């Protein structure tokens, strides 16, 4: 019998693309204020970089494309991006699902990623009202116990006094969420798209 449900965050409870676009908007407005270049032009260059190459070198791409005498650095833009309060929100269906599960199970959120970034996402999504426990695996800059390491899966079980076989892990990433669940002896529910989250309350093992 499942007593504890452990959720992943990004691309499980919301579409992480929304966070990326929110960050691009904040960066574009910052660069526009600093250089006088039209905000829309800057934003479209960032969007183009994301479409062509995904995440990783978006700000390098932007600065190569811009013709400006103003000194702007990639670390400067990364700081703006990481420290912005994102314009993201849970869908109404996800809120309804979390409310339903919250009334029946202990809910825990375990997320990889730099804690100061993930905390801003959690704040914007107002997740504290649904989760009894939120764990940031890279708190303090530590990398050793990120998922799929089972440390925090076991810690959640200990806090809620449940056995690993009584816990279900919900996530989108097979190399972190699924592997972490397997390492901890827990069941796993795979999120291929956000609609899968809506079907969770009907999962046969719940």
Do residues 74 and 63 touch, judged by C-beta distance below 8 A? yes
Cα 93 to Cα 107: distance, rounded to the nearest angstrom: 17
pLDDT at 204: 66
- Spatial separation of the C-alpha atoms in residues 186 and 150, rounded to whole Å: 10
Tokens of 67: 């013709």
Residue spans per domain, the chain: 4-14+89-202, 17-83
What CATH class has 4-14+89-202? alpha beta
Identify the CA nearest to 152 among candidates 142, 192, 174: 142
Q: What is the pTM of this model?
A: 0.93
Tell me which long-range contacts 48-55 makes (C-beta under 8 A, separation of at least 24): 50/20, 50/24, 55/20
How do residues 73-120 score in pLDDT, each as one tens digit? Answer: 999 999 999 999 999 999 999 999 999 999 999 999 999 999 999 999
């Amino acid at each position: 019998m499942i007593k504890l449900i452990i959720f992943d965050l990004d691309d499980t409870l919301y579409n992480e693309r929304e966070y990326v676009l929110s960050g691009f908007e904040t960066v574009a407005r910052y660069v526009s204020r600093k250089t006088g270049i039209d905000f829309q032009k800057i934003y479209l260059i960032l969007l183009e970089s994301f479409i062509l190459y995904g995440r990783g070198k978006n700000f390098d791409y932007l600065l190569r494309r811009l013709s400006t005498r103003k000194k702007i650095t990639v670390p400067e833009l990364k700081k703006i991006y990481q420290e912005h309060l994102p314009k993201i929100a849970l869908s109404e269906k996800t809120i309804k699902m979390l409310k339903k599960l919250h009334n029946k199970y202990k809910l825990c959120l375990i997320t990889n990623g730099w804690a100061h970034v993930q905390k801003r996402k959690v704040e914007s999504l107002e997740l504290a009202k649904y989760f009894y426990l939120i764990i940031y695996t890279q708190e303090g800059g530590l990398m050793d116990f990120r998922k799929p390491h089972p440390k925090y899966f076991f810690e959640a079980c200990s806090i809620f006094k449940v056995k690993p076989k009584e816990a279900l892990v919900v996530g989108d990433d097979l190399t972190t969420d699924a592997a972490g669940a397997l390492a901890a002896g827990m069941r796993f529910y795979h999120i291929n798209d956000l609609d899968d989250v809506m079907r969770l309350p009907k999962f046969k093992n719940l």
